[in-house]
Amino acid sequence: MGTEQVVEKILSDASKQAAEIKSQAAEKISAAQAELAGQISDYEKQTERLAEKNAEDEKSHILAAARMENAREFLVEKCRILDDVFEKSAENLKNLPDAEYKKLFADLMLAAVETGDEEVVVGKDETRIDESFVREVSGKLAHGYKNELHLSLQREKLSAGFILKRGKIKNNVSLEVLLVQARKELEIELAKELFVN
C-alpha cells in the first residue's frame, strides 16, 4: 500500500465527516439567510422615509457586513470540523490492530525504500515497528535492492510511522506527514464543493 493508498484511506475515513461538514454548512447558510432576510425587511421598513441614495448606501453596508460575518463564522466552523476529522483519523490509524498497522507501514516502507540499505527511524514510543519487523520488510524487497534495512537507535518525535534515512537524505513517512497531505487534498475538494455559491 503506497502513500496514495494511505491518502485515499484517510480521505475515505474523512468523507463521512465531509458530508457532515456540508450538512452543517447548509444549515448555517440557511439560518444566516433567514436572519439576513429578517434584518433586510426591518431595515426596509425603517428606511422608507430616507432619501433613496442614502437608503441604498446603508443597505449595501449592512449586507456586506452581514455577508462578511457569515463567511467568517462559516470558515471558523469549517476549520474546527476539519481539525476534529483529522484528530479522529490520526487516532484511528494509531489504534489499528497490530496486524493492520504492520501491514500498512510495511507496504509504505516497501514503497518508500530507494536503495534497500536505509536506516529506519521510528517514534520514541513506537513498539510495533521493531528490528524484526524491519528485517522482515527488508527481506521482501524486490530484486535489485540491497535488503539491508536496519532499525536506527535514534528515535524521533513521531506518533506513528517512520523516517527512512540514508546519509543526509530523509524520507518522512510519518502519520503527521500523511495527514497533512490528506488534509490539503480534502480542503481543496471541500473548497470546490462548499464555496461554489
Report pLDDT digits (tens) over 43-63: 777 666 555 666 677 778 888
What pLDDT band is residue 137 in, cutting at 50, 70 and 90? very high
* Range of lowest pLDDT (33-37, 50-54, 108-112, 128-132): 50-54
Task: Write out the DSSP string of 111-155.
Answer: HH-SSS--EEEEETT--SS-HHHHHHHHHTPPTTS----EEEEEE
pLDDT band at 71 (very low <50, low <70, confident <90, very high): confident
pLDDT digits (tens, 9 = 90+) for 19-30: 677 777 667 767
CA distance 62 to 44: 12
Q: What is the pLDDT of residue 41?
A: 79
**pLDDT for residue 118:** 93
Residue type, 5: Q
Q: What is the CA radius of gyration of the chain?
A: 26
Do the Cβ atoms of 107 and 2 come closer than 8 Å?
yes
Same domain flag for 50 and 107: no
Residues 69 and 138 placed together within one structural domain of the fold? no
Q: Is residue 173 part of a domain?
A: no
Q: Range of 12's domain?
A: 3-95+179-194
Asked whether residue 90 falls in the same domain as residue 183, the answer is yes
Q: Are 138 and 148 in contact (CB under 8 A)?
A: yes
Assess whether pLDDT exceeds 90 at residue 113. yes
pLDDT at 109: 92
pLDDT of the residue at 4: 72
- Residue 49 shares a structural domain with residue 117: no
Whether residues 46 and 115 share a domain: the answer is no
Q: Give how many domains the chain has, as a whole number.
A: 2
* pLDDT value for 164: 94
Considering the domain architecture, whether residues 34 and 130 belong to the same structural domain is answered as no
